[in-house]
Structure 1
Amino acid sequence: MKTDILIIGSGPVGATYARMIAEQRPNANILMVEVGPKVSDTIGQHVKNITDPQQMETAQILSQGPKKTPYPMISVAERALAVQRGELTADILARAGTHLVLDQPEEIKTNEMPSLSMSTNIGGMGIHWTCACPRPGKGEQIPFIPANEMDEALTEAEKILHVTQEAFPISEEGETILHILNQTLGDKHSPKRQAQPMPLACKVDSEYNRYWTASDLILGNTLNHPNFELRSETICRKLNYQNGKITSAEIEHLPTQQKELIEADIVIVAADALRTPQLLWASGIRPQALGHYLNEHPFVFTFVELDKDLVQNHSPNPTSKTHSRKSPDPTVGVFWTPFDAPNHPFHGQIMHMDLSPMKTTVTDESKHIVGLGWGPLKEANFEDCIVFSETEKDYFGMPKMNFKFQYTEKDLEAIEAAKAFQQKVVHSFGKEIKDGGQTLMPPGTSLHYEGSTRMGVANDGSSVCDTYSQVWGFDNLFIGGNGVIPVATASNPTLTSVALAVRSSKQVVKQIKA
């Protein structure tokens, strides 16, 4: 088969490429392949939009690759205790809708990123994410992309993702939380980096009915475009190339084991930060930096029961815009303390326990419990990397991966500083609950993996692609996803990855002949 564009991966970044190319080059043929299945009636929708609990659970299980049963609910405290005892299992370390990269007990115990996970389905991790879309702060920005260009790309990405800070009504409790956060932060912060509602990828109406963003919204009309085709349960096993050009891709439909050779003028690999470098490595495309500089911010989490007199103990805001609570809205939505080095060199996220990716076994609905996640930067090091096997295969028959990942002394100091700041906030809110005291989560827990296919300004071995995500030495190969982010970040990376895809798409469009 021949096509103009082959996109490997159907998550938010792959969907962004497809949409932008289809809009600007409507005559171009686009083939998108996804190794995972369709998991719901609406192609690529977020699982939080599925109202039936059983159907939501089914969608999550279908996304879990080799894991075909529900994960039990493991609280933060139970998980922390298991980690301390070394009793690590897949059920403890993975979340619903994901599966561990390495899931055998002995592999988990020796893996330096034991909680490293991925989702395998149409829409990728993007149908399971928290939808948090903060802009990177001072100390997280990519230094070699002009600030005005990145700002334009971020603005366009926010439109594509339907980012809003009004997904939840501001309740009295929420307003008080913001007040306390800003008291703790103080006045020393950059413009627009005060505590505020978290920007969320979500369509919301006047009644606060929410539809969370995933690949279905990102693709939009592209799904019905006559020149667009999406194939599920189809893996790309290898890219063939000659003289700096991808000549074909070897794909396989997993249920039937039918193999096919695809010729494409341009190939875009947006599998994720793990499987994108895996495919390049399997294809013999092995720049020195491939799989290296693997990064993930440390993740410190705790739950707090809000003081029952919290609102009364703080002066009301004279310019209050609070709303009456509308069931089933949680009393507290999602709030953000922005990364802002050196003033607040952490990313903080505060959310009602109903919205939290971490769990607690407390079920008393009369208690207002919020989860607090705080994260500093982790230094980017060449030694932190994916190790690909020349002989062993993974669940999908691709080169097996293992991981090297260590915190430096500077990283450990940053973690302790994040814990200390988080504790200040905790004491202002109320008290930590027994089930979920302050815990440094195991590496891999955040799901924010970066750097494995990092971009750079020169083909000197320190990067995999240029600033437009074009792989060094190739005329028609582009890559996308969190892996291309070349700097350490503490904030959620999806907005940045989509912005980089927006910027890259404009370069791709210039090369399309159709």
Structure 2
Amino acid sequence: MMVYLPTIPTSKSGIPPVCYPEMPENYLDYWIPTTPIEKMATEEYDVLIVGSGAGGSAALYRMCEQWKGKGKKIGIIEAGGLLLPTHAQNISTLEVERFQRYFLNPKISTPIGWELPQFPGARLVFALGGRTLFWSAVCPRMNEMEFELGDWPISYKELLSYYNNVEKVLSVTQEFTKDSQITDILLERLRENGFPQATPVPIATDISQAKFGKVGSDVFFSSIDFFARSLNLSPFDLAIYSRAVQVYVENNKATGVKVLTWGGKTYKVRAKNIILSTSTLETPRILLNSGIEGKAIGHYLVNHSFLEVNGNFDRSEFPENFGNLGILVPQAEEDSYQLQMYGRGGTFFYHERRIPLRDKVPFYLQGFGKVEPQFKNRVTLHPTKKDYFGIPKIHVDFSYSEKDIKLINMIQQKMEDSLVVMKGKKEEEICLRPPGLDYHEMGTCRMGHNSETSVTNKYGQVHNISGLFIADNSVLPHSGAANPTLTMMALAFHTADYISKR
């Protein structure tokens, strides 16, 4: 094997001298450039992004794209550190079971739901890339009908070009299961028996053929890909282990953020524009801790009602090399639910595991339901409990409405019906998972026209505060039934364009 190395100078004797490059002790963390928060505190940024998950990284990429070569100063801070340089499923040793055990480790993801009795499934990742390091990468668009409801300040038509742009960047494709016998057979059974909208799952994965030396090391998309693209467009400063806890506001204008480090130091990072992208649960905490007024801040918390079941198919129903399984039954206009089906044991992700002919074919079926926005479902600051930084922890009030319960029962029946037509057998009963376990929480800083019932306008700008924007799931006024990430990224692009063109 030939390895290309730089030219090494030789001594007078012709024998190369032994040279060891000087490297800092933490050189393994240098796969992405970082900037000390102390240095960032000496700058004033044209835009400062708080949070590096799906929304923050999307906003960063779009700002770098729009401001390329214009000399603008862009900064981004992350409360956690460097965990993984790619989606966990791009690491070949993390097959499905190891992947799940890795993600569920409390050192990796923070199970904040343990302290939230009404929202016990909630879990956050404090690390560069956030939960996109572990997400399913399933990327359906929100049903167009949702945008026609009165609470949306932006139309589907306005967002269409952003959907197209994000899908292109994420390489969203339905060909992940192309030529898969098991997917094709089950799709035919669904479409002919009551589920005509069934389709191969749209997933953010680059399955294009490598040609002409192009490096495509990431199959499954994560926020790290946005960072990689941004590095090639425009300079930006990135500080890790820097937690924003407060927004400074002067004369109804955001001027900077208060940042605390894990070492206990406090800094102010100044910026002309601030984009909060810290999650549906964390973003309202920052606003409330900043004393920012707004009747809707923290309210209208929604998620997806989440049902699941494990089962199996008769192995003899399919050919020997049947491929991977990925099916989506998207939300239809008359039904506010969505079904997703994957294979278990390596029949969705690319880690190969042969299933002998004598065995059953395992599957995993999910059902997601739209949840009604209710003012009483909310995130507030806890009156007594504080976190490591001395900042009030969050408290969550959440319950399903009668309308939600009715839909949950309908989804259960639809899941039963789909199993019958696909000839699948349950290994257990269909169960409703605890609120928050879907990881699709939304709505606590919803966008809208009315400042009495919303927190931001159509561009994600907080009502009555110039220069303060939000770009995460919290701005979605309705959950719909589709996975929210693609829609949220499209809105983050929209917000970045508004800032860059002002």
Aligned residue number for residue 321 of structure 1: none
Matching of residue 351 in structure 1 with residue 360 in structure 2: no
- 1:61-86 alpha-carbon deviations (Å, 9 max, x no partner): 6x779x23xxxxxxxxxxxxxxxxxx
Q: Give yes or no for contact 1:305–1:429 (8 Å, CA) kept in 2.
A: no
Aligned residue among 38, 43, 49 for 2:82: 38
1:196 aligns with 2:203: no
Q: Is the 8 A contact 2:285 2:380 kept in 1?
A: no
How much is the aligned-residue C-alpha RMSD, in angstroms? 2.7
The offset of 1:485, in angstroms, is: 0.4
Shift of 1:443: 0.9
Q: Say whether residues 1:51 and 2:44 are aligned partners.
A: no
CA contact (8 A) 2:246 2:289 kept: yes
- Matching residue of 2:38: none
One-letter identity of the residue aligned with 1:184: N
Is 1:486–2:493 an aligned residue pair?
no
Q: Is the 8 Å Cα contact of residues 80 and 241 (structure 2) preserved in structure 1?
A: yes
Q: CA deviation at 1:117?
A: 1.4
d(CA) in 2 for partners of 1:311 and 1:39? 40
Per the alignment, residue 360 of structure 1 pairs with none
Q: Deviations over 1:310-345 (max 9, x none)?
A: 359xxxxxxxxxxx94xxxx8333110010121x43
Deviation, 1:141, is: 3.0
Contact 2:207–2:219 (8 Å) recurs in 1: yes
TM-score normalised by structure 1 residue count? 0.80
Residue 459 of structure 2 contacts residue 494 of structure 2 at CA under 8 Å; is this kept in 1?
yes
- Note closer, same or farther for the CA distance 1:398–1:231 as it changes in structure 2 (3 Å cut): same
Q: Which residue in the other structure is 1:376 paired with?
A: 369
Question: Partner of 1:212: helix, strand, or coil?
Answer: coil
Structure 1 position 8 matched with structure 2 position 17: no
What letter corresponds to residue 55 of structure 2 in structure 1? V
Q: Is the 8 A contact 2:379 2:397 kept in 1?
A: yes
Q: Which residue of 2 aligns with 1:73?
A: none
The structure whose Rg is larger is 2
Amino acid paired to 1:492: N
8 Å Cα contact 1:304/1:430 also seen in 2: no
Q: What are the superposed Cα offsets for residues 366-412 of structure 1, whole Å, 9 maximum, x if unpaired?
A: 32111110122111110111121244213554321121111111111
1:165 matched to 2:206 = no
8 Å CA contact 1:307, 1:429 repeated in 2: no
Determine if the alignment matches structure 1 residue 276 to structure 2 residue 297: no
The one of 382, 403, 406 equivalent to 2:399 is 406
Whether the 8 Å contact between 2:119 and 2:398 is mirrored in structure 1 is yes
Alpha-carbon shift at residue 8 of structure 1 (Å) = 0.2
SS of 1:99's equivalent in the other structure is coil
> What displacement does 1:266 show?
0.6
Shift of 1:352: 0.6
Equivalent of residue 155 in structure 1, options 159, 164, 174: 164
Q: Hey, what's the Cα distance between the residues in 2 that align with 1:502 and 1:453?
A: 17
TM-fit CA distance, 1:364: 7.3
**Does 2:400 correspond to 1:428?**
no
Deviant stretches of 4+, over 6 Å: 56-60, 207-210
Alpha-carbon distance, 1:484 to partner: 0.4
Change (3 A) 1:137 1:355: farther
Among 445, 450, 454, the residue aligned to 2:437: 445
**Equivalent residue in structure 2 for 1:229, among 225, 229, 237:** 237
Aligned match for 1:99, one of 110, 115, 124: 110
State the alpha-carbon separation in 1 of the partners of residues 424 and 370 from structure 2: 27
Deviation of residue 226 (structure 1)? 5.9
2:458 corresponding residue in structure 1? 467
Q: Distance in 2 between matches of 1:389 and 1:185?
A: 47
Q: Which of 306, 319, 322 does residue 313 from structure 2 map onto?
A: 306
CA distance in 2 between counterparts of 1:58 and 1:443 reads 22
Partner amino acid, structure 2, of 1:4 = D
Contact 2:324/2:347, CA 8 A, preserved across alignment: no
1:180 aligns with 2:222: no
CA distance in 2, matches of 1:331, 1:351: 12
In the alignment, which residue of structure 2 is the partner of 1:72? none
Alpha-carbon deviations, 1:204-259, whole Å to 9, x = none? 134999611011212333235563011111101211111111122111232x3332
Letter in 2 for 1:52: T
8 Å CA contact retained: 1:39, 1:58: no
How many residues were matched structurally?
442
The 1:367–1:114 alpha-carbon spacing in structure 2 relative to 1, beyond 3 Å, is same
| Contact 1:305–1:430 (8 Å) recurs in 2 | no
> What is the SS of the residue equivalent to 2:47?
strand
Maintained 8 Å contact 1:181/1:337: no
Name 2:250's counterpart in structure 1. 242
User: Once the two structures are superposed, what CA deviation does each residue of 1:74-132 show, in whole Å capped at 9, x if it has no partner?
Assistant: xxxxxxxxxxxxxxxxxxxxxxx5322143xxx45xx1111111111100111110001
Is the contact between residue 21 and residue 505 of structure 1 (CA under 8 Å) also seen in structure 2?
A: yes
Relative to 1, partners in 2 of residues 1:278 and 1:6: Cα closer, same or farther, differing over 3 Å? same
**Equivalent residue for 1:71?**
none
Q: 1:60: Cα distance to partner?
A: 7.9
Distance 2:346 2:355 in 1: 16
Q: Which segment drifts farther, 147-156 or 269-278?
A: 147-156
CA distance in structure 2 between the partners assigned to 1:498 and 1:229 by the alignment: 21
Match of 1:336 among 328, 345, 348: 328
**Greater Cα shift, 379-388 or 301-310:** 301-310
In structure 2, relative to structure 1, the CA distance for the partners of 1:184 and 1:36 (3 Å cut) is farther
Change (3 A) 1:373 1:209: farther
The AA in structure 2 aligned to 1:400 is K
C-alpha deviations, 1:159-181, integer Å up to 9, x for none? 12221111233322111111112
Aligned-residue offset at 1:186: 4.9
- Out of 248, 251, 261, the residue aligned to residue 259 of structure 2 is 251
Q: Return the offset for 1:468.
A: 0.6
